[in-house]
Chains A and B, each alone.
Chain A
Amino acid sequence: MKNDIPLFLLNTPSSHPPKRGGGKINISYIDKSIESFAGILKESYIQWESASKTGFFHELDTRIKVVFWLFLIVIISLKKELLPELGIFITVFTLVVLSRINLVKFYKKIFLLGFIFGFLISFPSSLNVITHGEVLFPIITLSKPYDFWGYHIPEVIGFTGEGFSVVAMLTLRVLNSLSISFLILYTTPFPEIIKALKVLKVPDTFLIIISLAYKYIFIFARIVVDMHLAKKNRLVSAVKSAEARNWVAGRIAFIFRKTQLKCDDVFKAMVGRGFSGKIKLYQYQKIMGRDWIVGFFLFTLGLLFLWV
């Protein structure tokens, strides 16, 4: 074998010691995007870890949690008064505290998303141009009111009390929907949530498709991260954006091929285990007494909000 080794491999690659300096290399946006794939994997573990802890809501039967979630989302959308929305907010907050979830981490995400998708989006409706009412804080005074295309621009433009109520209402609705959804995600492993959708009469075939898709997102995210490391290992300088885009395009094609192959393999594995066109999933155990009691209490509370 030694005689077959090319001469260049017998030479020391560089007689100079490793050098430092030479200026910094900027991390490309593609590198950053791939790093965020690693973030997906990390997030999934954090979700799984947090959902596997013990706590009040963690221990509740997933079917009750899923039905309660749907019930509460409907109530949140139906109610048009601030009081029941505030009540729902306090209820979910209490459940979060009882479930011993880190309040700062939990509400940091919710308030950020609530601010963007609730407050910022609805904020313009606090102006009397959109929501009519008594102007509390005038901002512009025009020489006269204008009417065009069916729109009325009043002489004094400003924030109205009614407008503030609308903004508060919409923001609270978003915050409440996010809090209950995140509470479920923080206290229930994702596969359990998918399985619990059975109570909502979601077909088994659809559930198995969601499970497989969820699983393979992580498998392929890991492959993408590994491919990135393999490439990084062979790069000696920064890569031009065009080259990086080419690489990404090539890798997308590779992932697509790999997906097709995996799809064939999964199908063969299913056939090998008796699959003949109809999927039958494992049925849940009976709901325990404690779960019925907690479920009854939660649904009564929901009805109370609906009635108020």
Chain B
Amino acid sequence: MEIFTVEGAYYTYYNKFPAVVDVSLGIRKGEKFAVIGSNGSGKSTILQILAGLLFPSQGKVFFYDYELSEESLKERDFLRSFRERVGFVFQDSDIQLFCPTVMDELLFGPLQLGMEKSEALERVSEIMQMLKIENLRNRPSYMLSGGEKKRVALGSILTMNPEVLLLDEPTSGLDPKTQVFLLELILALNEAGKTIVIATHDLSLVDEFQFKVAVLSEEHRIEKIGNAEEILKDEDLLLSVNLIHEHIHYHGQTAHTHIHSHYLFHKH
């Protein structure tokens, strides 16, 4: 069953800069889906369209069988059922954290859903334990490190228990330990039945978690949709969309050139 269907979507910033051009894709329930592309290819815009935060100027987006539009999201019941099912974690955690303390941040979602305070508190406590942020309970968000902010931002969405998690560059700017923690968590959440959609240009993520992948070109179009193995083997495709490149480097005294992805095609 497809949870999201995008049909021929276009989006342009300031009526001038195209961000998404004729994009069509489908995301199935429980799937791990990655939108990959170079900087400025439109990954984040696609995620924001799926989250009902931006609306395409042309084309349609469906959540289950319901069209996602500015009008449909003004309907009280639809807005509620959509927002409780779809959680979006922004790349910049700073903009996502707007409550006075970490505790308030995690409580915000459940209270919006009209949950009893005791149940909401229980959820928050469990999430804090899972994310290992119990010690940050009363801290304001501006006194957190980058990794801590990311954990709190994810926690603030998880307390709403969404069916779909949309993650924009989830590992960018994090130290390796936090990255591993976050990725293991994302995988475990997917195994628990959540649909995971990420936007990234990190090919190692795609390989490690075997996502279904949509590759965006620098012209903001979808070049190919396929499984991780199929996409990662297609060096020509990855070169054309600027996700891998040729570079020169030294081995001892010898310089040589080869295709370089910072992960997979670093073959000698």
A237 to B15 Cα, complex, angstroms: 30
How many Å from the CB of B149 to the closest CB on chain A?
12
A41 to B17 Cα, complex, angstroms: 13
Is B185 in contact with chain A by the CB < 8 A criterion? yes
B163 touches A9 (CB 8 A): no
List of A residues within 8 angstroms of B162 by Cβ:
13
How many Å from the CB of B115 to the closest CB on chain A?
10
A70 to B185 Cα, complex, angstroms: 63
Known: A8-B123, A236-B80. A254 touches B142 (CB 8 A): yes
Is A250 in contact with chain B by the CB < 8 A criterion? yes
Complex partner residue of B77 from A19, A27, A234, A235, CB under 8 angstroms: A19
How many Å from the CB of A259 to the closest CB on chain B?
13
A257 touches B77 (CB 8 A): no
How many Å from the CB of B55 to the closest CB on chain A?
12
Known: A9-B161, A232-B53, A236-B112. A2 touches B192 (CB 8 A): yes
B95 touches A234 (CB 8 A): no
Known: A13-B162, A14-B84, A226-B92. A251 touches B98 (CB 8 A): yes
B192 touches A23 (CB 8 A): no
B95 touches A223 (CB 8 A): yes
A21 touches B77 (CB 8 A): yes
A17 to B99 Cα, complex, angstroms: 31
Is A209 in contact with chain B by the CB < 8 A criterion? no
Is B113 in contact with chain A by the CB < 8 A criterion? yes
Complex partner residue of B81 from A10, A18, A27, A233, CB under 8 angstroms: A18
Is B144 in contact with chain A by the CB < 8 A criterion? no
A8 to B64 Cα, complex, angstroms: 23
Chain A 157-199: CB-based contact to B (< 8 A → 1; otherwise 0) = 0000000000000000000000000000000000000000000
List of A residues within 8 angstroms of B160 by Cβ:
13, 234
A234 touches B83 (CB 8 A): yes
A257 to B76 Cα, complex, angstroms: 35
Is A231 in contact with chain B by the CB < 8 A criterion? yes
B123 touches A2 (CB 8 A): no
A130 to B81 Cα, complex, angstroms: 64
How many Å from the CB of A272 to the closest CB on chain B?
21
List of A residues within 8 angstroms of B48 by Cβ:
229
Question: B77: nearest residue on chain A (CB-CB)?
Answer: A22
Known: A6-B130, A45-B16. A14 touches B81 (CB 8 A): yes
| CB within 8 Å: A-B pair count | 136
A25 touches B53 (CB 8 A): no
List of A residues within 8 angstroms of B51 by Cβ:
233
Q: What secondary structure prevails in chain B residues at the interface with A?
A: helix
List of B residues within 8 angstroms of A13 by Cβ:
84-85, 160-163
B161 touches A11 (CB 8 A): yes
Chain A 35-79: CB-based contact to B (< 8 A → 1; otherwise 0) = 000000110011001000000000000000000000000000000
Is B78 in contact with chain A by the CB < 8 A criterion? yes
Is A230 in contact with chain B by the CB < 8 A criterion? yes
Q: Would you list which residues of chain A between 246 and 262 have a CB under 8 Å from chain B?
A: 247, 250-251, 254, 257-258
How many Å from the CB of B37 to the closest CB on chain A?
20
A167 to B99 Cα, complex, angstroms: 54
How many Å from the CB of B84 to the closest CB on chain A?
6
Complex partner residue of B90 from A23, A230, A247, A251, CB under 8 angstroms: A230
Is B234 in contact with chain A by the CB < 8 A criterion? no
How many Å from the CB of B166 to the closest CB on chain A?
9
List of B residues within 8 angstroms of A227 by Cβ:
95, 98
Most-contacted residue by chain A among B81, B94, B95, B194 (CB, 10 A): B95
A230 touches B85 (CB 8 A): no
Is B187 in contact with chain A by the CB < 8 A criterion? yes
Complex partner residue of A257 from B16, B79, B142, B185, CB under 8 angstroms: B142
List of A residues within 8 angstroms of B16 by Cβ:
45, 49
Known: A5-B130, A13-B163, A227-B95. A234 touches B156 (CB 8 A): yes
Q: Give 9 nearest A-B pairs by CB, closest first.
A: A22-B77, A22-B76, A6-B126, A19-B77, A18-B81, A45-B14, A1-B188, A236-B80, A230-B96
Known: A5-B188, A235-B79. 5 other contacts (CB 8 A): A4-B130, A8-B126, A8-B161, A233-B51, A236-B113
16 sampled A-B residue pairs with Cβ under 8 A: A1-B187, A5-B192, A8-B161, A18-B63, A18-B81, A19-B77, A20-B77, A21-B76, A24-B75, A226-B95, A227-B98, A230-B98, A234-B112, A234-B157, A235-B83, A236-B112
B residues bordering A, Cβ < 8 Å?
A: 14-16, 48, 51, 53, 63-64, 66, 72, 74-85, 87-88, 90, 92, 94-96, 98-100, 108-109, 112-113, 123, 126-127, 129-130, 142, 156-158, 160-163, 184-185, 187-189, 191-194
